[in-house]
């Protein structure tokens, strides 16, 4: 899928921490939904007729609303944690949220049983298993949320794609590494803003770079058309 890339290179520790918080936020939104669906299922088993129909109608309405909310939340998480620019409209939010809900609800089915089993263990070891279980769940939810968000990345406008296609291939200029995503690109004079910053071709974040002329003066190189500086 063509779209604005996120952070293609994250160190392992940062990736783990981001995935944990991503999953933690999704768990906060999806677990109450799971408990609500279980409660409705149990209530529906004792009630018959039009009351059951009304209960399930309310449940479906709540599910649609929750799908949009979770879709918006995951879109924001993808933007601020992973630097993904996802699609921002109702249909995308609902389908993204519904996908997350279906997968997470299936994964949560054995969760109450696991918690029950942990309560049967000796009291001193229960906190250890609780930490392990919740950490695994948060990490798994985080990975799921990130993978789903990738499928909803907003394609770049044609003009922006064309500019990037011209910039990314090899050319004479200044090569430097982005401090955000750690990807190295070459930048020409016209890529450098008036405040001596450039925008990374990969993650689209700005960072400071010495102007080419200033760098050449520092190293005593005479400026020519084909001059190349690698940092």
> Residue 182 has which token pair?
């750690």
Domain boundaries, the chain: 12-150, 162-230
| C-beta separation of 149 from 77 below 8 A | yes
| C-beta separation of 223 from 216 below 8 A | yes
* Helix axes of 126-150 and 12-44: crossing angle, nearest 10 degrees: 100
* Helix axes of 126-150 and 111-119: crossing angle, nearest 10 degrees: 160
Q: Which residue has the higher pLDDT, 146 or 166?
A: 146
Average pLDDT, the chain: 75
Instruction: Mention every residue, 6+ apart, whose C-beta is less than 8 A from residue 130.
Output: 115, 118
- Counting beta carbons within 10 angstroms of the beta carbon of residue 141, is it exposed (0 to 12), middle (13 to 18) or buried (19 or more)? buried
Question: pLDDT tens across 88-132, in order?
Answer: 888 888 899 899 988 988 888 888 899 899 999 898 999 999 999
Instruction: Mention every residue, 6+ apart, whose C-beta is less than 8 A from residue 122.
Output: none
- At 2 the pLDDT is 38
Q: Rounded to whole angstroms, how far apart are CA atoms 21 and 12?
A: 14
Element (H, E) at 135: helix 126-150
Q: Rounded to whole angstroms, how far apart are CA atoms 189 and 133?
A: 53
- At 88 the pLDDT is 83
* pTM recorded for the entire structure: 0.60
pLDDT band, very low/low/confident/very high, at 210 (cuts 50, 70, 90):
low
pLDDT band, very low/low/confident/very high, at 184 (cuts 50, 70, 90):
confident
- Looking at the predicted structure, is the pLDDT value of residue 189 above 90? no
What is the rounded average pLDDT of the residues 202-225? 62
Q: Which residue has the higher pLDDT, 183 or 119?
A: 119
What is the rounded average pLDDT of the residues 80-89? 83
Q: Which residue has the higher pLDDT, 91 or 204?
A: 91
Q: Rounded to whole angstroms, how far apart are CA atoms 176 and 215?
A: 12
What is the rounded average pLDDT of the residues 173-190? 77
């Amino acid at each position: 899928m063509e779209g604005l890339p996120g952070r293609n290179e994250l160190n392992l520790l940062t990736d783990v921490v981001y995935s944990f918080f991503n999953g933690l936020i999704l768990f906060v939104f999806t677990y109450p939904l799971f408990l609500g669906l279980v409660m409705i299922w149990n209530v529906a088993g004792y009630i018959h007729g039009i009351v059951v129909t009304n209960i399930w109608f309310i449940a479906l309405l709540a599910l649609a609303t929750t799908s949009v909310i979770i879709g918006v939340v995951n879109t924001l998480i993808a933007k601020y944690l992973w630097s993904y620019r996802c699609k921002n409209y109702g249909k995308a939010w609902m389908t993204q949220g519904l996908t997350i809900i279906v997968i997470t609800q299936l994964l949560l089915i054995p969760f109450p049983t696991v918690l029950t089993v942990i309560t049967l263990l000796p009291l001193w070891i229960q906190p250890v298993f609780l930490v392990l279980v919740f950490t695994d769940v948060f990490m798994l939810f985080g990975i799921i949320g990130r993978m789903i968000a990738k499928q909803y990345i907003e394609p770049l406008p044609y003009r922006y794609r064309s500019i990037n296609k011209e910039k990314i291939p090899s050319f004479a200029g200044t090569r430097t590494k982005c401090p955000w995503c750690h990807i190295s690109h070459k930048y020409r004079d016209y890529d450098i803003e008036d405040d001596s910053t450039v925008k990374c071709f990969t993650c689209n974040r700005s960072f400071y770079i010495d102007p080419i002329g200033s760098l050449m003066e520092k190293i005593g190189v005479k400026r020519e058309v084909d001059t190349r500086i690698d940092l």
